[in-house]
Amino acid sequence: MKKVLGVVLLCLNFGIFACRGEQDLSIRLASISNDTQVSSQWAINRIGLPYAWDEQTGSNEVSVAIIDSGIDYTHLDLAGNIDIDECYNFYDGTQGSTTIMDQAGHGTHVAGIIGAVGNNGIGVTGTCWDVNLISYKVMQDSESVLNSGIPSAINRARDNSIPIVNISIEFSALPTGMLEAIESYSGLVVLAAGNYNNNRDANAIYQSLSALDNVIIVGALGRDNLKTSWSSYGQQTVDLFAPGEDIYSTYPLSVDVDGQSYSYRNISGTSMAAPFVTGVAALVLSQHPTWTTAQIKDKILSSVEPNSSLSSYCVTGGVLNAYKAVHSCHDYTYSYQWINTTRHKAFCRCGESTMKPHVVHGGGNICLECGGEVSKGLVQWSLKRSLESNSMEEYVIILNNQEYLSYLERNNNQKEEY
């Protein structure tokens, strides 16, 4: 009997996840936003966001406070996710829209990573497509920080029951009252580890911050899947790594950059890595609105993708994995391969060991990774799951160049169209 399971699109970022229901096999595809410049956002695929978005894209019921240089509240890719009335400028004690206009660009870039409006057909997408962004302005430019504003901003987040705070600021001295403010705040505080390749294990400031139960400290991962040369680190103080190199995000047109104006631009830094973790925390809270800060933090840190090159640089030895953090059902193993060709070992987007196909340009047959010749024709995707009876069933999807059909392969090797 033929059943329609859905349309499968074969592309370089194609992926399938399957969970077995009571009687049915369900095929789960990655969700891709329609934002026009999403191809410039390499970090999206690196941390498995398309697969996380298949389950959760965020909620405007979840608020995130960004303690930074303000936000360009007029930016078309941000305006829909900004809670103007709750924004606050700690320089002059004013509240509302005009008071938090970003004159440095830093806060707007951070805000876009967390929550640029997703799937709106323009620009980029945030880690959360929907979220309630609140700007707490403590910076006039990228070099000037109002230290007293940071603990005041944390206290304001506490008083307004904001569950997540992002602070992409590097500390050479700890602002008076900051530790006490974090201790009195029940939400999650995500901090950038800082740049300049410093060992935070030898720094009393970051030792104190990392000791707090509701703090996550984030280092920067490069495009090469290694710690960037400039990211600070700490085997006991930095919790995990997230993409921080050449991160493409929103930017204020009003801010001059070497005589040029940009609505979007690439910036590198641990300031860019931290908001990916903040955004994933907001996704997790959207998925589990009753979870505590401890549960959210534990889920993020326990679901990292292991990376042996980071084992001496952070507590978890891994990289942020959005899909694993958001996903609740994790009872299967996943592998895939090209038929009659050499297979490449890799990791599934959910972090499990897997095999990945040769990568070829459309119409070509030379693998971009190994240089070998790849057979054209059918592709076999195999998903295996242990059942309660400890038996194994194998679900095979055959993809022809022209036609995409799903099959359930029976033990007698007969293939039934399904």
Per-residue pLDDT of the chain (418 residues; tens, 9 = 90+): 322 223 222 222 323 332 322 223 333 446 778 999 999 999 999 999 998 998 899 999 999 999 999 999 999 999 999 999 999 999 989 998 778 999 999 999 999 999 999 999 999 999 999 999 999 999 987 668 999 999 999 999 999 999 999 999 999 999 999 999 999 999 999 999 999 999 999 999 999 999 999 999 999 999 999 999 999 999 999 999 999 999 999 999 999 898 888 999 999 999 999 999 999 999 999 999 999 999 999 999 999 999 999 999 999 999 999 999 998 643 333 333 333 344 444 444 444 444 444 544 444 555 554 555 555 443 333 333 322 322 323 322 333 322 222 222 222 333 322 2
Point out the catalytic residue in the list 54, 68, 102, 239. 68
What pLDDT score was predicted for residue 367? 53
Strands (E), 186-293: 188-192, 215-221, 240-243, 247-250, 264-267
What pLDDT score was predicted for residue 177? 97
Write out the residue limits of the CATH 3.40.50.200 domain(s) in the chain.
Answer: 38-326
Q: CA-to-CA distance for 89 and 214, rounded, in angstroms? A: 25
Residues 340-377 as b or e (16 or more Cβ within 10 Å = b): ebeebeebbbbbeebbbbbebeeeeeebeeeeeebeee
Q: Count the neighbouring beta carbons within 10 Å of the beta carbon of residue 186.
A: 13
Residues 250-270 as b or e (16 or more Cβ within 10 Å = b): bbbeebeeeeeeebbbebbbb
Q: Which residue is listed with tokens 């910036």? A: 267
What pLDDT score was predicted for residue 144? 84
Q: CA-to-CA distance for 207 and 216, rounded, in angstroms? A: 12
What pLDDT score was predicted for residue 9? 27
Look at residues 160, 13, 138, 167 and name the one whose alpha carbon lies nearest to residue 69: 138
pTM of the model: 0.76
Contact partners, residue 34, CB within 8 Å, separation at least 6: 119, 120, 121
pLDDT in tens, 342-356: 444 444 444 444 444
Q: Which residue is listed with tokens 């990791």? A: 347
User: What are 29's two structure tokens?
Assistant: 């595809």
What pLDDT score was predicted for residue 374? 54
What pLDDT score was predicted for residue 143? 67
Three-state DSSP class for residue 45? helix
Point out the catalytic residue in the list 59, 271, 286, 406. 271
- What CATH superfamily is the domain 38-326? Peptidase S8/S53 domain (3.40.50.200)
Point out the catalytic residue in the list 106, 109, 327, 358. 106
Give Rg (Cα) of the chain. 23
What pLDDT score was predicted for residue 11? 27
Q: Which residue is listed with tokens 């026009």? A: 36
Q: CA-to-CA distance for 129 and 136, rounded, in angstroms? A: 21
What number of CA atoms fall less than 13 Å from residue 63's CA on the CB side? 18
User: What are 367's two structure tokens?
Assistant: 């693998």
Four-CA torsion 98, 103, 104, 110, nearest 10 degrees:
20
Cα-flanking dihedrals φ and ψ of residue 280, to 5°? Answer: -65, -35
Look at residues 86, 150, 138, 73 and name the one whose alpha carbon lies nearest to residue 112: 73
What number of CA atoms fall less than 13 Å from residue 68's CA on the CB side? 32
How far apart are the two ends of the chain, measured CA to CA in Å?
Answer: 6
Q: CA-to-CA distance for 248 and 40, rounded, in angstroms? A: 6
330 noted as active-site residue: no
User: What are 48's two structure tokens?
Assistant: 């498995």
Cα 54 to chain center, whole Å? 13
pLDDT in tens, 274-329: 999 999 999 999 999 999 999 999 999 999 999 999 999 999 999 999 999 998 64
68 noted as active-site residue: yes
Q: Are 315 and 200 in contact (CB under 8 A)?
A: no
271 noted as active-site residue: yes
